[in-house]
A and B are shown apart, each in its own frame.
Chain A
Amino acid sequence: MSMSQQLKYPFSVGTRKAAQKLARDLRRLISFVESGTNTYIIEAAEKRVLAALDQSEIPLVHTGEPGDMLIYPTARLIVEKIGDPRLREYQAEAESKAVNKHLGKEKEDFVTNLCQSAFGWHVESTGTIRERAKLPIQLRTFEFKLRYEDFLEVAPEFHQSPWKLINRYVDKGWVPVQRLELNRLVSGKFKLLILHSTLDVPTLPQRLTEAVQRVETDLRGKIRTTKPVKITGGVVSAFPPCISNMHDDATQGKNLSHEARFALASFLLKIGMSQEEVLGVFKAAPDFVRGLAEYQVKHIASKAAGEGYTPPGCSKLQGNSLCPVYLGTAKDPLCKYVQHPLAFYQTRAWEVSKGIDNHSWYATKKRKRQSF
């Protein structure tokens, strides 16, 4: 892999090795970029983050210095220092877009090698155009096949019908994919790697701190102008702590777990929100983070009235670490008297409507159902 290719694919084995050679860990990275002329790395990294926040193209800086390899890690460091999930989401989106674009210009071999070396994926060619010509027309267009386990690492994130496993020509565990699809899967995997990685960033020296502050200011301005759809205050204030947390996370564009999305969507549908409104809650994130695709909401909605898909109760949520009261990070006196977030909501909504904010009546009028 050439140096310029290494710069394009920060997740590749070659790039990671080259970066590690210069700075083995976070501390060494910080001291490296802060010293002497290396501060150009901080500047470039800051630009890189700002470009992501702006949703414009990620600039590729290729000065020929080995330090170029540290621009991406430094950009990640700035983002993790700020720790705002929306910012991380912007970064992941922009970085993955850039990779997708670069991949479009690479040779087939390069892409399959990258899949294997960087992610351990099993990808094979399905043959030359001549060989494929014998296949039925629908099957001819797939240049590659990928193991279903690897395909599923990324494809569900796209939440679109053609990406569903059921809509692929799955053959003995191999999923045929087109070249452009494979590029999407690779860049999508990179996005997930960013979204799921967390760094414990120590206190930063001068230059980096300034960069962090400038990005933070930009971020604040950005978030103010793109307020997500909010549901009316009255309804939200009656949410139990669990739902309220998930709702905040969703509208802030955090990546919710499958269980959380399911719990939130089914809850909102159950209290009478329309499918459109529920989608709105999930759409609010930066890239429209298709946290919950339409068909999923529809699916939950179609069953929400019947027996199958009632929102999970407190014990289920507690088992999934989704109850903040159980985890000790939130408190509400009403929680002790309910076993289901819906029961909480009913009582609290009534209180809100009557303007009652003294909750001492629970102790005499209600039966305790759980203790924390």
Chain B
Amino acid sequence: MPRRAQETKFLQLTFQDHYRSNPENIDIPAKVHAREFGMESWAYTWRCIERNERNESGSTIRKGCGRSGNSFIRISKCPNCGSSDIHVNNWTRHHGFRTGEALVKELAMSAPHSVYHSAAFYKVPVARHMDEKEWQGAELVFDIDADHLNSPCADEHDTWRCNNPECDETGSGRSPTTGCPKCKGMSFSSRKWICDKCLDDAKKTLLKVYDDFLVHDLGINPELIQLNYSGHRGYHIRVRDPKVYKLGSNARVEIVHFITGMGFDSTKAVIIDGSIPRVSPRSFPGWAGKTAHAMVEFIKNIDTYLGTEQWVKRLKKNRTAAIKGLQREPPIITTVPGIGVKSWQEIAAKSTMAFGGEIDVPVTHDIHRIIRLIGSLNGKTGFLVSELTRDETDDFDPFGDALAFDEGALKLRVTGGQVKVPRFRIGDDAYGPYGDEVVELPMSAAVFLLCKGVATIE
């Protein structure tokens, strides 16, 4: 359900208050003058397109009025002439700030829905085209998003709605890939929710990427790595080591593959030694030394593997023995009838893919990517984009530690409908599930529902 103007205005004012009274929250990115900023605003700007059209009888008529304006809700028709041929936009890029103060001032003034900055440094960050910006290097960034982790809780709390206005069917879980069960339509809007489970999965992935790959394997100085909660469904990592700034897309893709376990040549890790297939010892650096561990994990979870290779059944039957052998040091491969070296190598390759850290790939290899500003508010939740140290991360609670509004309460009319607004937690208290009802909520919970667009102010 689209948010109404009143709620949007309220959110903007609330954000503005926050930025005015907590300017110190904002983490000014290094070399701020060399960064491009992107803003997602609460209001939409619209422009009605003026043009000549030919009608059936061949005569030319003018359509559209050429006006433009702002609107707090997403409009689909020109408010002036009713033409549906309009441009609507709530995004602007290519902003630049000479100083941190200028940035903070801008936030206090415009209080945007969301604010982002480039991982890259540019000579001319405000230039409209990438090649005029003159790229000078970029931090190495990673985005770990619950969306990519396929946490099972999505089936409990995500919902979809069929975009066919005559149908309007709704359901829970991910949108049906086979089409709408009622009208067979293929277009859906989905409402993504968050809970402790999926955010915990994201945190585990974050720590794995940080501990195992960035610090342990790549030897990156922990002091040059910055971590943060995104304020919504995930976590970000920024590597601020000047040595990585120069890396191009291709090099970043290699790092992505290294972290995700893609492209691993398992024929070197599973070899025949004498007549026995062996796996590289754990003491080996890099992925070679991780192979045995990855295989153990994979075999433990073999029931969730969807592949239909010949070896799947056999491996399931002999899983205990197979795991035992792999857990030895050096690891050995237990003879399983019907599984030859080739198959073991295949299993090893599947295992590394499953074992790698799930990161949002394009974020890392796109050297022009923008990323949420740390210390800003995330307009999808009203939560703070919170910087974390490695140690803080272990106990970090997104639903408690990222809250920005601790004063006051608000009466809301929740529009949960049949699918209901799922249960959620703010601080120590749980709320919902809500159908259509009026509730009074503490400010952080209220802002969360308003940002999610599932409630109106009573």
Contacts and interface: CB of A to CB of B under 8 A. Distances in A.
B265 A258 contact: no
A147 B330 CA distance: 28
Given A138-B284, A321-B131, A371-B87, A161 B254 contact: no
B217 A364 contact: no
A153 B251 contact: yes
A149 B219 CA distance: 11
A367 B85 contact: yes
What range describes how many residues of A lie at the interface?
35 or more
Contacts of A147: 243
A258 B248 contact: yes
Interface stretch (A9-17, A58-66, A167-175, A204-212): A167-175
Interface string A331-372: 000000000000000000000000000001001100110010
B130 A152 contact: no
Interface string A158-180: 00011011111111111000000
Contact of B49 (A174, A299, A368): A368
A149 B244 contact: yes
B368 interface: yes
Contact of B286 (A170, A363, A371): A170
A104 interface: no
Contacts of A169: 284-286, 288
B275 interface: no
B220 interface: yes
A372 to B, nearest CB: 12
Given A138-B280, A319-B130, A166 B251 contact: no
Contacts of B268: 138, 167
A172 B214 CA distance: 9
Given A161-B265, A173-B218, A258 B368 contact: no
A121 B261 CA distance: 26
B158 to A, nearest CB: 15
Interface in B262-297: 262-265, 268, 280-281, 284-288
A162 B265 contact: yes
Contact of B219 (A139, A152, A173): A173
B98 interface: no
B264 A364 contact: no
A288 interface: no
A163 to B, nearest CB: 9
A156 interface: yes
A153 B251 CA distance: 7
A259 B261 CA distance: 22
A198 interface: no
B99 interface: no
A166 B217 CA distance: 11
Contacts of A164: 254, 257-258, 263, 265
Interface in B67-106: 85, 87, 93
B323 to A, nearest CB: 24
A48 B217 CA distance: 44
Interface in B126-154: 129-131
10 contacts: A149-B247, A164-B254, A166-B262, A166-B264, A166-B287, A167-B268, A172-B218, A172-B285, A299-B262, A364-B55
3 A-B pairs with least C-beta separation:
A173-B219, A258-B249, A171-B285
Given A152-B247, A166-B287, 8 more contacts: A166-B352, A167-B268, A169-B286, A171-B217, A259-B249, A363-B54, A364-B54, A371-B49
